Structure 1
Amino acid sequence: MKLQPDSFDVQAITGYGPGWVGVNGEKIHHSVIIGSGGERLAWPVQRFDELGQEHFALLATVPAEVAIFGSGSRIRFPKPAWLAPLIEKNVGLETMDTAAACRTYNILAQEGRRVVVALLLEP
């Protein structure tokens, strides 16, 4: 019995590796914000130590019920003060390494959830 359709109507992360992520087959080589509603924004950050509240404010501009932060090759947590823009919109943030964030985004998006993911792609 088939339980899942062959294709989905949302942006899918189709691959990832060191310094890149594939979105619907297109390779992206910079940090990016991807929303299940079709949003795709360049995320102007290259390293975790460059992150600040303004980066999470940009993430908060994408309508979502849950946000995911892919923190690079290892899990690193953002400072609580950086999350104020998301908290103001009542959006929860889950933090994980970028590979896990890609997989989790796909699962939630394919379930029809309003999800946004910010992927830190370090050079």
Structure 2
Amino acid sequence: MASSFVSGFRSLEKTALFHWKFLSSLSSGKRLLSTASRCTGKLQPTDDEIYTRTTISLLSKESSDVPFISNYSIQGFTISGDKVYGPVAILPRSLVSWNIAGLHDIHEDSLSLFHLIEPSIEILVIGTGEAYHKLTPELHKFMRLKGIALEVQDTSHACATFNYLARESRVVAAGLLPPEKVTR
């Protein structure tokens, strides 16, 4: 058993060394991994990596098409033909699973996704589920300071508002909670 552990560790060490050499060759002469971090697997950022913007596209590939919410249910949403389960953040060019459990999780940290993205959005539409629930004045002020108008509605109206604003070529995003029940 000890010999299989040692051979597994050596294999892991060789793989880490290969990746280190590969990443070093890709970085135009700059090393991405320091000599000390090779064994631990921790990346050390270089000066040009610290201040770069990060883009994300988790649930769909970036698209130049305007997203359109065609359906919603207690499970999630159908957006431009893609089914998304649970809360969703619709960004100008991508869909992201919005990691919140409910209305009580909407706060400055959960809204930071919307003001950190590029291109900057003008309006954020929040769908609060089956019924309209007010968000705190502090959240409205926080988003206003970031240059983003905050529109809070129940999910059915938030979907319609998002679709309208997106079709009007506004730079709009949405954070939507699925309703607890659907009445149509």
TM-score by length of 1: 0.82
What letter matches 2:172 in structure 1?
A: V
User: Partner of 2:129: helix, strand, or coil?
Assistant: coil
Q: How many Å apart are 1:101 and its aligned residue?
A: 0.7
More helix by percentage: 2
Q: How many Å apart are 1:122 and its aligned residue?
A: 5.8
Q: How many Å apart are 1:30 and its aligned residue?
A: 1.6
User: Partner of 1:10: helix, strand, or coil?
Assistant: coil
More deviation in 94-103 or 46-55?
46-55
1:39 corresponds to which of 68, 83, 94: 94
Structure 1 residues 61 and 39: CA distance shift in structure 2, 3 A: farther
Q: Which has more radius of gyration?
A: 2
Task: Please list, as runs of the form range in 1=range in 2, the aligned pairs for 1:80-99 lying within 5 A after superposition.
Answer: 80-99=137-156
Identity of aligned residues (%): 26
Q: How many Å apart are 1:58 and its aligned residue?
A: 1.7
Query: Which 4+ stretches in 1 moved above 4 angstroms?
Result: none
* Partners of 2:158 and 2:85 in 1: CA distance: 16
More deviation in 101-110 or 78-87?
78-87
Structure 1 residues 73 and 80: CA distance shift in structure 2, 3 A: same
More deviation in 104-113 or 45-54?
45-54
1:48 corresponds to which of 94, 103, 108: 103
- Is 2:104 aligned against 1:28? no
What letter matches 1:66 in structure 2?
A: I
CA RMSD in angstroms, aligned pairs only? 1.9
What letter matches 1:25 in structure 2?
A: G
- Greater relative contact order, per chain length (Cα 8 Å cut-off, separation 6+): 1
The residue that corresponds to 2:116 in the other structure is 61
More deviation in 80-89 or 49-58?
80-89
User: Partner of 2:70: helix, strand, or coil?
Assistant: strand
User: Partner of 1:15: helix, strand, or coil?
Assistant: strand
Task: Please list, as runs of the form range in 1=range in 2, the aligned pairs for 1:7-18 lying within 5 A after superposition.
Answer: 9-18=65-74
TM-score by length of 2: 0.57
More strand by percentage: 1
1:109–1:115: 8 Å Cα contact kept in structure 2? yes
Is there any run of 5+ residues in structure 2 with no aligned partner, and where?
Answer: 1-63
Please list the CA deviations of residues 35-74 of structure 1 after superposition, one character each: whole Å capped at 9, or x if unmatched: 2x21322211121123222111122224211111101111
